[in-house]
């Protein structure tokens, strides 16, 4: 039977852990509400912008291509890995890191693959195995469209000047607090817009369609990356809230089991003491 003092210490330690995990769950729940509202409000705008760009692009002549849609032979690939700065959020970060490793070592195994990391976890892990061109772990300190737009401009420059032939984004898409979907999206070159319907309406474009598309593409790319970061940010808090909820439940079960063990040990100790007293009394009588 375990020592009573040892069991009491374990019960006390687990109770302290429960308080921490429960507090972290409540903090993540509060942050999740704000992050969820932000990505929910943004998605309709991002989808409409993409739809408008598809409609205009589909109606352009084949010779009116954009520098952002230059589909050249892929020799150098840049992957943007979006994770969090902190852990304690289940498999949230490890799933992204596994996907990035798979892309680098299997899908693009014969290509030069470098990384741009958003989040300390991606920087720490990928930096030991691959080349990290730049790290933007401080983005979460001031997560605004303008701060993410600077990263988008950096990526667009790396593509248009020929440094990289393809740029991919890997992130967690927020579905609900318990579910995150791993997304791998081609950022550049722009994916051919198949199935886009060409409007037959007689619109007057000012300036020309080509100029409008050229202005919309950078804005659409910035919005795409910002949506990915926002999705990941909401997913992080959802994953952490779920992980801390499970940790609290597990700690509660373990504490209850230890209390039962403690009570059994205490009862056994008391019984032994009574038996010793009774045995001693009988010995004196004899």
For 252-262, what is each residue's pLDDT tens digit? 999 999 999 99
Q: How are beta strands 179-188 and 166-176 bridged, if at all?
A: antiparallel
**Residue-level pLDDT at 194:** 59
Tokens of 271: 């019984």
pLDDT for residue 278: 83
**Mean pLDDT estimate for the chain:** 87
pLDDT at residue number 22: 93
In this predicted structure, what is the pLDDT of residue 216? 83
CA dist., res. 107 & res. 110, Å (int): 8
Please identify every residue annotated as catalytic: 89
Q: What is the pLDDT of residues 227-284, one digit of tens each?
A: 999 999 999 999 999 999 999 999 999 999 999 999 988 888 888 888 888 888 787 7
CA 93/CA 83 separation, integer angstroms: 6
pLDDT of residue 192: 58
CA 217-220-226 angle, to 5 degrees, is 145
Strand-pair category, 166-176 with 131-135: unpaired
Q: Output 260-263 pairs: Cβ under 8 A, ≥24 positions apart.
A: 261/2, 261/7, 262/4, 262/7, 262/8, 262/11
What CATH architecture applies to the domain 24-192+203-242?
A: 3-Layer(aba) Sandwich (3.40)
Segment 137-153 shows an average pLDDT of 92
pLDDT of residue 72: 86
Reply yes or no on whether the pLDDT at 48 is more than 60: yes
List the alpha helices (DSSP H) in the chain.
4-58, 92-102, 120-126, 145-160, 209-285
Q: How high is the pLDDT of residue 2?
A: 58
Q: State the number of CA atoms in the 13 A half-sphere of 71 facing the CB.
A: 5
Q: With bands split at pLDDT 50, 70 and 90, how would you rate the model's confidence at 126? A: very high
> Contact at 8 Å (CB) between 169 and 184?
yes
Query: What's the confidence (pLDDT) of residue 276?
Result: 83
**pLDDT(63) > 80:** no
Q: Provide the residue count of the chain.
A: 286
- Smallest Cα–Cα separation from 171: which of 132, 225, 221, 134? 225
């Amino acid at each position: 039977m375990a020592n009573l003092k040892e069991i009491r210490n374990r019960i006390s330690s687990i109770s302290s852990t429960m308080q921490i995990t429960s507090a972290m769950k409540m903090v993540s729940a509060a942050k999740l509400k704000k992050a969820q509202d932000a990505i929910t409000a943004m998605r309709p705008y991002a989808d409409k912008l993409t739809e408008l760009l598809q409609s205009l692009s589909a109606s352009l002549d084949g010779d009116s291509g954009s520098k952002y849609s230059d589909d050249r032979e892929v020799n150098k690939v840049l992957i943007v890995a979006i994770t969090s700065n902190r852990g304690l959020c289940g498999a949230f970060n490890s799933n992204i890191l596994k996907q990035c490793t798979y892309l680098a070592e299997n899908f693009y195994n014969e290509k030069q693959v470098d990384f741009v990391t958003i989040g300390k976890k991606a920087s720490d892990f990928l930096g030991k195995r691959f080349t990290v061109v730049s790290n933007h772990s401080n983005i979460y300190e001031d997560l605004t469209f303008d701060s993410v737009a600077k990263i988008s401009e950096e990526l667009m420059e790396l593509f248009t000047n020929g440094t990289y032939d393809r740029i991919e984004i890997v992130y967690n898409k927020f579905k609900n607090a318990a579910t995150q979907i791993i997304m791998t999206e081609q950022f550049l070159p722009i994916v051919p817009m198949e199935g886009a319907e060409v409007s037959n309406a007689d619109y007057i474009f000012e300036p020309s369609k080509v100029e409008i598309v050229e202005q919309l593409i950078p804005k659409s790319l910035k919005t795409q990356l910002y949506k990915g970061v926002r999705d990941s940010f909401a997913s992080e808090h959802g994953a952490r809230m779920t992980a801390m909820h499970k940790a609290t439940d597990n700690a509660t079960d373990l504490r209850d089991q230890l209390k039962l063990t403690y009570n059994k040990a205490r009862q056994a100790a008391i019984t032994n003491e009574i038996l010793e007293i009774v045995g001693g009394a009988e010995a004196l009588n004899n």
